[in-house]
Amino acid sequence: MSETIHISIDGKVVDAEPGNSILHTRLQGEEALTANIGCMGQGVCGSCRCLVRKAGERSAETRLACETVVEDGMQVSFIDYYLPEHLHRYRPHDLRDGWQALPQLQQTFPEISQCRHCSGCDRACPRHIPVQQGIALANSGQLQAAAALFDPCIMCNLCTLACPENIRPNHVGLYLRRAQAIQNLRPGDLLRRLEQQARGEMAINTQTDNTRSEV
Amino acid sequence: MSSAIHYLQALANLAAHDRPPLRPADLSRSALLAQYHPDNAGNASTLLQIGPSRGQPCHPRLAALLQSNALIDGFDLAGAEQRSTDVLVIGGGGAGAAAALTAARSGAEVMLASKLRLGDSNTVMAEGGIQAALAASDSPQQHFDDAMRGGHDAANPQLLAQMASDAPGVIRWLIELGMHFDLDEPLEDGGKLRYKQAGGCSQPRILCYRDYTGLEMMRVLRETVELDPAITLLNRCPVVELLSHEDGSCAGAVLYDLEYQRFIVVSARQTILATGGCGRLHLQGFPSSNHYGATADGLVLAYRIGTGLRDMDAFQYHPTGVAWPQRLRGGLISEAARSGGALLVNGLGERFVEELAPRDVVTAAILRECAAGRGIERDGQLGVFLDTRPLGANLASRLPALQHLADKCGIDPCSEPMLIYPTLHYQNGGVIIDGNGQTSVPGLLCAGEITGGIHGRNRLMGNALLDILAFGRRAGRQAARLAQAARHKSTLPPQRGGIEHVYRWQRQLALAGLDSSLQAPLLYPGQARLALHRPTSPHA
Ligand SMILES: Cc1cc2nc3c(=O)[nH]c(=O)nc-3n(C[C@H](O)[C@H](O)[C@H](O)COP(=O)(O)OP(=O)(O)OC[C@H]3O[C@@H](n4cnc5c(N)ncnc54)[C@H](O)[C@@H]3O)c2cc1C
Ligand code: SF4
Ligand code: SF4
Ligand code: FES
């Protein structure tokens, strides 16, 4: 391809090839990339978070740089990832008792009742998850439904950054999803196999003749 | 480019059949591999000249890195920050997380250092699933047999048997941490896990969560690590060299803290390398499905300090990487697509290989079609079709990651085929370990894709996710055990090591007449190199 366009990344104007993603444009630059990059285009690691403002537009949007194709005049600013001081600590063990689910959720994430329905989280989410609704469901005790909404979440933490109440919505979602698996998932086939192994029935003979069959 | 059939013509040829016919095989599988697999190309192997595996075959690009000079010298360590821990885990993928969690659970104080952020790894990208023999008609023995055959009988039988036996326990552990799996018959008596068929397996054995198993696994593992008070997490702190004691044992590692641009010397009683593979080296000029950090760093450091390597000339080129559009080139289309019924079709509209033959065979077959002019060309990109139409209308809900990828390609997978070409996917060989992840260097353990011997010379789908957790946990447990034994002997913090092994290595380089200006590990791929900050004066 021929014509080159220009975008600005973290304040620097760079050449970009139409059709390329923001991330790949940045990769061709002169500085070694040591952050905000992971899966490079699969869109699952959530590390390439950035703010994007298109030419002529007033507002900026949060995007994944690896999934966003460059446009002439685009302004891009990458958002670093850091661990906040304030973690909501819990252990898998704490999630075992389903009868305590609601009080425990409120104890671990005391801020969820403060949601002011500003929908900052919804606007931030590159996966278009209805985050605010997830928090509302969680508040009302509909934990399964809330958990289900966060199924495709890539933990990019953009909703957490957006939330003025420090709710960390994606972590609430993950907490609820984990609780669900920990409490409910007891596949019969797995139980049986574990029990057979405990009885010593499933040992492997490494001496079997395994000559490859030529097809 | 060799000649190829134009995309539009190929589409017309595809449309001519309801279900494309399978062309009878005229080459045996071994002949196909010998002639067309990238590992067997004339320029794909050289012999290592120094180090414990001297004389063994290795890919030349990797050999150059393995036989290179260190990034640092003793001077760099003089003013570095000093820290110490029982167990130092290096690498923040599935193997590193499993090792750290298990070591912490076994009572050790743990530090986990990762080059990128914890979780940014190949593990989070895994789509297809994880093997575990759970069906009534299945057994760990059959799992073992399939993997042994798939790996061309080259696996270490003990390691492979441990992996297959660990599988049910690994799945239970994941569920206990809060990972979900897809169920068949969810209402029946606790449900039964859904099994998918993998290439080269005697029966369906892949457990999955949709087609983002790795994402589901890694978000649970990452959260557990981040919230564990016994684990100190160091993000963006790549290891640049290991540390050794006078007796040759491993004493910890030197990290480079990117945030503050300075070195950190971590003295550890036990060190676990879990830095993954080397896909980003683009061996043989292939595109890669791997994450940005897969640059063989751990492999280089382990070799320099004295571990043996094996099968460093055996790589997995996944058959179905994206070939068009160019900006997504190399991205993976999971084997789940073929497992669900998608077909491989050449430019003439023929199927040319059984879709679920072992991966190396399918890859060789695709490269053969392209070499013979039966490939398909679209906007300068070469490949063959993956006909996803047989997957049916519920594709979007069953395989959301595939649908997402197709959307990015601008293709409707229910009505159009995708253009695919093999992509460098997995490092079959690696560091030699025992059943607990221990290497021949005391104090150093390895787990995950960095290791060799578990899969032989070709890994089956779903066995990597199993291997990294089975051996990640084993290594974590063993490291904690050894660290505690050492702590019983002396309660003083672990002794600080040095880089004597680097000086020894430099002498070997010189004796062999090798170029010592080349430095490794690479740390970051791409055209721009990272310059490690070196404080030259107090005012710098
Ligand atoms: C797209 C894709 C799909 C896959 N699908 C499947 C599947 O369905 N089933 C399956 O079984 N397998 C699959 N695999 C293979 C499997 O995902 C990997 O083999 C496995 O996840 C490797 O795990 P690991 O922990 O060893 O390494 P990784 O997960 O790659 O983690 C390596 C870690 O080490 C860190 N690191 C690297 N260098 C340094 C350094 N110098 N210092 C500090 N840290 C460092 C990296 O940042 C990263 O955190 C897939 C792989 C890919 C790429
Ligand atoms: S819910 Fe939050 S963390 Fe998850 S994808 Fe959306 S913005 Fe990212
Ligand atoms: S950003 Fe926070 S406060 Fe606003 S709607 Fe979302 S959860 Fe509620
Ligand atoms: S690099 Fe992983 S989401 Fe963009």
Interface test with B, best of A44, A90, A174, A207 (most B CBs within 10 A): A44
Rounded to the nearest angstrom, the minimum Cα separation between A177 and chain B is: 7
Question: For A214, which of B28, B172, B183 is closest by C-beta distance?
Answer: B28
Q: How many CB pairs under 8 A join A and B?
A: 200
Which pLDDT score, from 0 to 100, does residue A10 have? 95
Amino acid letter for position B194: R
Residue (of B490, B521, B516) closest to B503 by Cα position: B516
Interface test with B, best of A78, A129, A185 (most B CBs within 10 A): A185
User: Which token pair is B248?
Assistant: 């040759």
B219 contacts B178 by C-beta, under 8 angstroms = no
Q: For the residues B121-127, what does the mean pLDDT come to?
A: 97
Probe residue for ligand 2, chosen from A129, A161, A176 as the CB with the greatest number of ligand atoms within 8 Å: A129
A84-89: long-range pairs with CB below 8 Å, 24+: A84/A160, A86/A166, A87/B226, A87/B227, A88/A168, A88/A171, A88/A175, A89/B227, A89/B229
Q: A45 to chain B: which residues are within 8 Å by CB?
A: 119-120, 124-125, 291
Could you say which DSSP state residue B40 is in? Answer: G
Q: B291 to chain A: which residues are within 8 Å by CB?
A: 38-40, 45
Rounded to the nearest angstrom, the minimum Cα separation between B245 and chain A is: 31
Q: Is the CB of A138 under 6 A from ligand 3?
A: no
Between the CA of A154 and the centroid of ligand 2 the distance, in Å, is 6
Largest CA distance in chain B: 77
Whether the predicted pLDDT of B505 surpasses 60: yes
Using CA atoms in the order B162, B167, B172, B173, what is the torsion angle rounded to 10 degrees?
50
Confirm whether pTM is higher than 0.90: yes
Q: Is the peptide bond before B521 cis (omega within 30 degrees of 0)?
A: yes
Residue B459 annotated among the catalytic residues of the structure: no
- Binding-face residues of A in 115-144 toward B, CB within 8 A: none
CB contact under 8 A, A204 and B144: yes
Between the CA of B209 and the centroid of ligand 2 the distance, in Å, is 18
Quote the percentage of chain B above a pLDDT of 70.
98
Amino acid letter for position A53: R
Closest Cα to atom 53 of ligand 1: B290
Residue (of A131, A129, A143, A140) closest to A184 by Cα position: A143
Q: What's the order of all strands across the beta sheet hosting B451-452?
A: B309-310, B430-432, B451-452
- Which one of B338, B457, B473, B501 is the catalytic residue? B338
Strand duo A61-64 + A12-16: pairing:
unpaired
User: What are B273-283's pLDDT values in tens digits?
Assistant: 999 999 999 99
Residue (of B515, B412, B454, B499) closest to B143 by Cα position: B454
Q: For the residues B216-240, what does the mean pLDDT come to?
A: 97
User: Which token pair is B462?
Assistant: 């779903």
Which pLDDT score, from 0 to 100, does residue A99 have? 95
Query: Which residue does chain A place closest to B138, by CA atoms?
Result: A193
Strands (E), A110-192: none
Rg of the Cα atoms in chain A: 23
- Binding-face residues of B in 138-197 toward A, CB within 8 A: 139-141, 144-145, 148-149, 152-153, 157-158, 160-161, 164-165, 168-169, 171-172, 175-181, 183, 188-193
Round to whole Å and give the CA distance between B269 and B487: 9
Closest Cα to atom 1 of ligand 3: A163
Please spell the DSSP secondary structure of B207-269, one letter per residue: E-STT-HHHHHHHHHHHHHHH-TTEEEETT--EEEEEE-TTS-EEEEEEEETTTTEEEEEEEE
Could you say which DSSP state residue A26 is in? Answer: H
B214 contacts B401 by C-beta, under 8 angstroms = no
Question: For B178, which of A20, A92, A202 is closest by C-beta distance?
Answer: A92
Residues whose CB is less than 8 angstroms from the CB of residue B210 and which lie 6 or more positions away in sequence, other chains included: B182, B216, B398, B399, B400, B401
Round to whole Å and give the CA distance between B496 and B306: 19
pLDDT along chain A (215 residues), means of 10: 85 94 92 94 96 96 96 96 82 94 96 97 97 98 97 97 95 98 96 97 85 41
Cα dihedral sign for B318, B322, B324, B325? negative
CB contact under 8 A, A212 and B153: yes
How big is chain B, counted in residues?
A: 540
Which pLDDT score, from 0 to 100, does residue B533 have? 66
Which pLDDT score, from 0 to 100, does residue A210 have? 52
Residues whose CB is less than 8 angstroms from the CB of residue B292 and which lie 6 or more positions away in sequence, other chains included: A33, A37, A38, A39, A40, B116, B120, B280, B524, B525
Round to whole Å and give the CA distance between A151 and B226: 20
Burial of A130 (0-12, 13-18, 19+ CB in 10 A): middle
Which pLDDT score, from 0 to 100, does residue B200 have? 87
Which pLDDT score, from 0 to 100, does residue A173 have? 98
Strands (E), chain A: 5-9, 12-16, 49-53, 61-64, 75-78
Residues whose CB is less than 8 angstroms from the CB of residue A172 and which lie 6 or more positions away in sequence, other chains included: A105, A109, A112, A134, A135, A138, A146
Could you say which DSSP state residue B196 is in? Answer: B
Q: For the residues B502-508, what does the mean pLDDT come to?
A: 98
Whether the predicted pLDDT of B340 surpasses 70: yes
User: Which token pair is B350?
Assistant: 């023929």
Rounded to the nearest angstrom, the minimum Cα separation between A199 and chain B is: 13
Residues whose CB is less than 8 angstroms from the CB of residue B498 and which lie 6 or more positions away in sequence, other chains included: B74, B77, B243, B244, B251
The gap from C-alpha A140 to its chain's centroid, in whole angstroms, comes to 24
Q: Is the CB of A22 under 6 A from ligand 2?
A: no
**Residue A39, beta-bridge partner list:** none
Could you say which DSSP state residue A117 is in? Answer: -
Round to whole Å and give the CA distance between B143 and B121: 26
Round to whole Å and give the CA distance between B502 and B304: 7
Strand duo B81-90 + B110-113: pairing:
parallel
Round to whole Å and give the CA distance between B311 and B287: 21
Please spell the DSSP secondary structure of B82-103, one letter per residue: EEEEEEEEE--SHHHHHHHHHH
Closest Cα to atom 8 of ligand 3: A115
Residue B404 annotated among the catalytic residues of the structure: no
Round to whole Å and give the CA distance between A165 and A143: 20
Between the CA of A154 and the centroid of ligand 4 the distance, in Å, is 9
Position in ligand 3 atom list of the atom nearest CA A116: 3
Mean pLDDT of chain B: 95
Amino acid letter for position B301: L
CB contact under 8 A, A19 and B327: yes
Alpha helices in B272-418 (DSSP H): 297-305, 336-339, 359-371, 395-398, 400-409
Quote the percentage of chain B above a pLDDT of 90.
89
User: Which token pair is B225?
Assistant: 């690590």
Whether the predicted pLDDT of B395 surpasses 80: yes
Whether the predicted pLDDT of B460 surpasses 70: yes
Residues whose CB is less than 8 angstroms from the CB of residue A140 and which lie 6 or more positions away in sequence, other chains included: none
Strand duo B262-273 + B444-446: pairing:
parallel
User: Which token pair is B500?
Assistant: 């004597």
The gap from C-alpha B494 to its chain's centroid, in whole angstroms, comes to 31
Which pLDDT score, from 0 to 100, does residue B189 have? 77
Whether the predicted pLDDT of B344 surpasses 50: yes
At B364, is the secondary structure helix, strand, or coil? Answer: helix
B95 contacts B433 by C-beta, under 8 angstroms = no
Which pLDDT score, from 0 to 100, does residue B538 have? 47
Q: Is the CB of B130 under 6 A from ligand 1?
A: yes
Probe residue for ligand 2, chosen from A45, A51, A125 as the CB with the greatest number of ligand atoms within 8 Å: A125
User: What are B174-198's pLDDT values in tens digits?
Assistant: 999 999 999 998 777 778 999 999 8
Q: B193 to chain A: which residues are within 8 Å by CB?
A: 187, 189-190
Q: Is the CB of A163 under 6 A from ligand 3?
A: yes
Question: For A30, which of B120, B177, B528 is closest by C-beta distance?
Answer: B528
ipTM score assigned to the predicted complex:
0.96
User: What are B195-214's pLDDT values in tens digits?
Assistant: 999 888 999 999 999 989 99
Which pLDDT score, from 0 to 100, does residue A214 have? 37
User: What are B298-330's pLDDT values in tens digits?
Assistant: 999 999 999 999 999 999 999 999 999 988 999
Round to whole Å and give the CA distance between A92 and A112: 20
Round to whole Å and give the CA distance between B357 and B365: 10
Round to whole Å and give the CA distance between A52 and A59: 9
Position in ligand 2 atom list of the atom nearest CA A158: 7
> Where residue B249 falls among pLDDT bands split at 50, 70, 90?
very high
Which pLDDT score, from 0 to 100, does residue A116 have? 96
Strand duo B418-427 + B381-387: pairing:
antiparallel
